[in-house]
């Protein structure tokens, strides 16, 4: 029970009886009345009860009832009365007036009570809650010796850029962002247990998801953002928390190596066909500059927005990190951010794109979504001129046609009979039509492996990310199972 607030109150009587001074509830009177009702005591009688022997006898009877029955066998009514014999309380004994304001104690008490009932505190928003949880996580990691006090200050954003550099850390917010994300998603049991303990003790959450960890990490990352506009800051927070994909819950390390070195390491992974740790670190580090600069945004809905691509920023980055062109573009975003400029667009070879007026092109959200479309859905290139661009557009049409076929099959399967069964399962389709469709699809299926091998022979292997999978959730299941055994 939340404590009641008590203040010494003097009762004066109209019949000339002596005054009585007793602690009376100034906040929590409903709780006090309920307690007195359960104990079958009139609240008006409490200030005048002076029978100490009767009180001692009453307490003794309650104690004997508890001792004889035991806490598990005590009758419900007796247990309820026993619980009401004591309750937490905060005794108000005085106040200090601010400056020259003159107010008596009664006015001060009323003002304090009004803060709880009239102008009461509003619930924290998501951003504030996550910031508090983020601070708790870093404090727990420091308490367990998993991070140094200096690194803890750096992680929560307490160090200035100069202080961070002087301490041997880094002033680059994108590097710090990657380190925060890695720390919150690290599979090391000691780190994960500390993160989990901090979150569960500071909130009612019992299951820690990857999505929640990214949201908390984002709250700490944004402390590096010098943005005074609250609306822009909130928009950046919403975009940034979706810029980290579940791939970052897998194995990788957050390093302090320069951006160009990291980019070369990610390109080397693509060359040998083993896309992994370097590309994940590059994805984590590039998310901050792309989102903060406005080069990559989250889904803004359908109103005044003709963008059909509804992927989250993290899904776009995840697509980029497994392609050579995408890695070069991510590396350019990191390099431009390091030099204090907005991310520029690059071609397949990493050269900055130039428009017809000789000006460098900045990368934009529609450009990234078009160049790095979802697998199986290559976006068309406007005004294609070269054979490569015309082929790209033809493949884009093929992807759209295959997607249309897939969607149409789903529509067919949604047609149900009166009894609720799919009509296609009962009536089927005309054999001649099925044969023609099968031949057409089989002809396409025969060509796809050949085209795939030609691409691999020319460009080398690429690996697609595995989404909807998280090592952290498996680790969470392990901890839940262990706690169940301990219980």
Q: Which residue has the higher pLDDT, 85 or 92?
A: 92
For the whole model, what pTM was predicted? Answer: 0.62
**pLDDT single digits (tens) 212-258:** 999 999 999 999 888 888 889 889 999 999 999 999 999 999 999 99
56's tokens: 């001692």
Lowest average pLDDT, out of 39-48, 90-99, 379-388, 451-460, goes to 379-388
pLDDT band at residue 386, thresholds of 50, 70 and 90?
confident
- Find the mean pLDDT for residues 461-468: 45
pLDDT band at residue 467, thresholds of 50, 70 and 90?
very low
pLDDT band at residue 464, thresholds of 50, 70 and 90?
very low
For the chain, percent of residues with pLDDT exceeding 70: 88
- Find the mean pLDDT for residues 148-155: 94
pLDDT in the model for residue 97 = 79
First to last CA, the chain: 27
Q: Structural domain boundaries of the chain?
A: 4-117, 126-298+309-371
What does the mean pLDDT of the chain come to?
Answer: 84
pLDDT in the model for residue 55 = 75
Q: Which residue has the higher pLDDT, 408 or 465?
A: 408
**pLDDT single digits (tens) 302-320:** 555 555 678 899 999 999 9
d(CA 347, CA 116): 60
- Evaluate whether 80 touches 38 at the Cβ level (below 8 Å): yes
Residue 463 has pLDDT above 70, yes or no: no
CA 52 to chain centre: 58
d(CA 231, CA 422): 49
pLDDT band at residue 380, thresholds of 50, 70 and 90?
low
pLDDT in the model for residue 269 = 93
Lowest average pLDDT, out of 1-15, 321-335, 467-481, goes to 467-481
Q: Which residue has the higher pLDDT, 486 or 265?
A: 265
pLDDT in the model for residue 95 = 84
- Find the mean pLDDT for residues 335-359: 92
Residue 27 has pLDDT above 80, yes or no: yes
Q: What is the 3-state secondary structure (H, E, C) of the chain?
A: CCCEEEEEEEECCCCCCCCEEEEEEEECHHHHHHHHHHCCCCHHHHHHCCCHHHHHHHHHHHHHHHHHHCCCCCCHHHHHHHHHCCCCEEEECCCCCCCCCCCCHHHHHHHHHHHHHCCCCCCCCHHHHHHHHHHHHHHHHHHCCCCCHHHHHHHCCCCCHHHHHHCCCCCCHHHHHHHHHHHHHCCCHHHHHHHHHHHHHHCCCCCCCHHHHHHHHHHHHHHHCCCCCHHHHHHHHHHHHCCCCHHHHCCCCCCCCCHHHHHHHHHHHHHHCCCCHHHHHHHHHHHHHHHHCCCCCCCCCCCCCCCCCCCCHHHHHHHHCCCHHHHHHHHHHHHHHHCCCCCECECCCCCECECCCCCECECCHHHHHHHCCCCCCCCCCCCCCCHHHHHHHHHHHHHHHHHHHHHHHHHHHHCECCCCCEHHHHHCCCHHHHHHHHHHHHHHHHHHHHHHHHHHHHHCCCCCCCCCCCHHHHHHHHHHHHHHHHC
Lowest average pLDDT, out of 8-17, 199-208, 376-385, goes to 376-385
Q: Which residue has the tokens 């897998």?
A: 250
pLDDT band at residue 475, thresholds of 50, 70 and 90?
very low
pLDDT band at residue 263, thresholds of 50, 70 and 90?
very high
- Find the mean pLDDT for residues 179-204: 91
Give residues with Cβ within 8 angstroms of 6, minimum separation 6: 23, 24, 25, 26, 89, 90, 91, 92
Lowest average pLDDT, out of 113-117, 303-307, 426-430, goes to 303-307
Residue 127 has pLDDT above 50, yes or no: yes
For the chain, percent of residues with pLDDT exceeding 90: 38
């Amino acid at each position: 029970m939340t404590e009641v607030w008590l203040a010494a109150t003097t009762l004066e009587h109209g019949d000339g009886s002596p005054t009585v001074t007793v602690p009376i509830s100034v906040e929590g009177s409903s709780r006090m009345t309920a307690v007195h009702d359960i104990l079958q005591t009139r609240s008006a009688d409490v200030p005048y009860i002076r029978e100490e022997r009767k009180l001692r006898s009453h307490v003794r009877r309650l104690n004997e009832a508890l001792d004889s029955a035991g806490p598990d066998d005590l009758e419900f009514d007796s247990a309820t009365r026993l619980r009401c014999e004591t309750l937490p309380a905060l005794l108000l004994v005085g106040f200090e007036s601010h400056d020259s304001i003159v107010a008596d104690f009664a006015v001060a008490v009323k003002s304090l009570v009004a803060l709880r009932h009239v102008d009461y505190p509003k619930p924290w928003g998501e951003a504030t809650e996550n910031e508090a949880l983020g601070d708790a996580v870093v404090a727990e990691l420091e308490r367990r010796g998993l991070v140094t006090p200096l690194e803890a200050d750096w992680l929560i954003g307490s160090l200035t850029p100069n202080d961070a550099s002087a301490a041997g850390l880094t002033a680059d917010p994108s590097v710090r962002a990657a380190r925060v994300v890695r720390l919150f998603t690290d599979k090391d049991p000691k780190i994960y247990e500390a993160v989990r303990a901090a979150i569960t003790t500071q909130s009612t959450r019992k299951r820690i998801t990857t999505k929640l960890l990214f949201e908390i990490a984002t709250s700490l990352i944004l402390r590096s953002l010098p943005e005074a506009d609250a609306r822009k800051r909130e928009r950046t927070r919403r975009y940034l928390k979706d810029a980290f994909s579940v791939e970052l819950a897998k194995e990788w390390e957050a390093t302090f190596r320069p951006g160009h070195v990291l980019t070369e390491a990610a390109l080397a992974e693509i060359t040998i066909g083993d896309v992994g740790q370097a590309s994940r670190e590059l994805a984590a580090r590039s998310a901050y500059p792309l989102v903060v600069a406005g080069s990559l945004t989250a889904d803004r809905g359908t109103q005044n927005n003709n963008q059909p691509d509804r992927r989250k920023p993290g899904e776009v980055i995840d697509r980029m990190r497994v392609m050579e062109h995408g890695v070069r573009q991510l590396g350019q975003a990191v390099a431009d951010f390091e030099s204090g400029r907005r991310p520029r667009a690059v071609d397949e070879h990493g050269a900055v794109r130039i428009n017809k007026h000789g000006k460098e092109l900045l990368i934009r959200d529609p450009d990234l979504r078009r160049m790095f479309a979802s697998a199986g859905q290559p976006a068309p290139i406007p005004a294609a001129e070269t054979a490569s661009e015309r082929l790209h557009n033809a493949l884009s049409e093929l992807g759209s046609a295959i997607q249309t076929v897939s969607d149409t099959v789903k529509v067919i399967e949604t047609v149900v009979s009166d009894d609720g069964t799919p009509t296609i399962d009962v009536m089927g389709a005309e054999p001649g039509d099925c044969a023609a469709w099968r031949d057409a699809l089989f002809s396409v299926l025969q060509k796809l492996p050949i085209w795939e091998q030609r691409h691999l022979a020319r460009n080398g292997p690429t690996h697609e990310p595995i989404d909807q999978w998280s090592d952290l959730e498996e680790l969470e299941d392990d901890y839940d199972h262990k706690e169940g055994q301990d219980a």
